[in-house]
């Protein structure tokens, strides 16, 4: 079975990646490689930088995952700053920020970055469109899952299997796996 080395310190991302990529025939192994979080306005730049940094440092093929939630009425905020906002404000304060807003559309995005040592990084973007709920719901998932509504249920109310079928991460990782099949080396 072909192995994919995933540089992440996030056990939730790792679990989801194992399921998503496992279903299409890949084994995922976690790599301990904390890359510097580049300050940039788009996830692609951050992801590509992280993948290259780890691939060159560890001298092996590496996958990374950079994700964010883009809220339309906040002009895409928090987007690439999602981790910072989650850590410093949390979902309750995000909901407070959204009080009185009728446009609650939000896009969840994952950019998978992949790089081989000495090579150019590639990125694969997956998205899912939903809305920001009015309250936190559900005990599954992590991060923004309890406030991201998709077809009447928050991601926090979906088990991994259901979330992975439709999620930003599922879409990005399946795209990556398809590309890898054509370029296996
Ligand atoms: P990062 O990709 O680790 O920088 O994640 C950015 C922020 O989005 C963190 O606060 C994560 O907890 C959150 N996040 C990433 N992926 C997901 C997801 O699939 N569901 C909910 N929150 C997520």
- Name the packing angle between helices 11-23 and 168-182 (round to 10°): 50
User: Which of 185, 170, 180, 178 lies closest to 18 in space, CA to CA?
Assistant: 170
B/e letters for 73-97, b = 16+ CB within 10 Å, e = fewer, are ebebbbbbebeebbeeeebeebbeb
Which residues are marked as active site?
Answer: 66
pLDDT in tens, 41-68: 899 999 999 999 999 999 999 999 999 9
CA–CA dist 158, 24 (Å, integer): 21
> What is the whole-number distance in angstroms between the Cα of residue 185 and the centre of ligand 1?
30
Domain that holds residue 92: 2-182
> What is the whole-number distance in angstroms between the Cα of residue 180 and the centre of ligand 1?
24
Number of folded domains in the chain?
1
CATH code (residue 112): 3.90.950.10
Percent of the chain with pLDDT over 90: 91
pLDDT reported for residue 100: 96
Q: 144: Cβ below 6 Å to ligand 1? A: yes
Residue of 144, 158, 159, 166 best suited for mutating to test ligand 1, as the one with most atoms within 8 Å of CB: 144
Instruction: Provide the whole-model pTM.
Output: 0.96
């Amino acid at each position: 079975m072909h192995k994919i080395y995933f540089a992440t310190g996030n056990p939730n991302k790792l679990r989801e990646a194992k399921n998503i990529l496992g279903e299409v025939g890949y084994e995922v192994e976690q790599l301990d490689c904390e890359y510097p979080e580049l300050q940039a306005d788009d996830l692609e730049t951050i992801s590509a930088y992280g993948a290259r940094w780890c691939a060159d440092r560890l001298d092996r093929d590496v996958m990374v995952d950079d994700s964010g939630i883009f809220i339309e009425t906040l002009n895409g905020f928090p987007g690439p700053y999602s981790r910072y906002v989650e850590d410093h404000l949390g979902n309750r304060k995000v909901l407070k920020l959204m009080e009185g807003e009728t446009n609650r559309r939000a896009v969840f995005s994952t950019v998978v970055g992949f790089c081989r040592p000495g090579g150019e990084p590639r990125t694969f973007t997956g998205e899912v469109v939903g809305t920001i709920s009015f309250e936190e719901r559900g005990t599954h998932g992590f991060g923004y899952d309890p406030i991201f509504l998709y077809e009447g249920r928050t991601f926090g109310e979906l088990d991994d299997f259901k979330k992975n079928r439709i999620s930003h991460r599922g879409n990005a990782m399946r795209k990556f796996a398809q590309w890898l099949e054509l370029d296996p080396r």
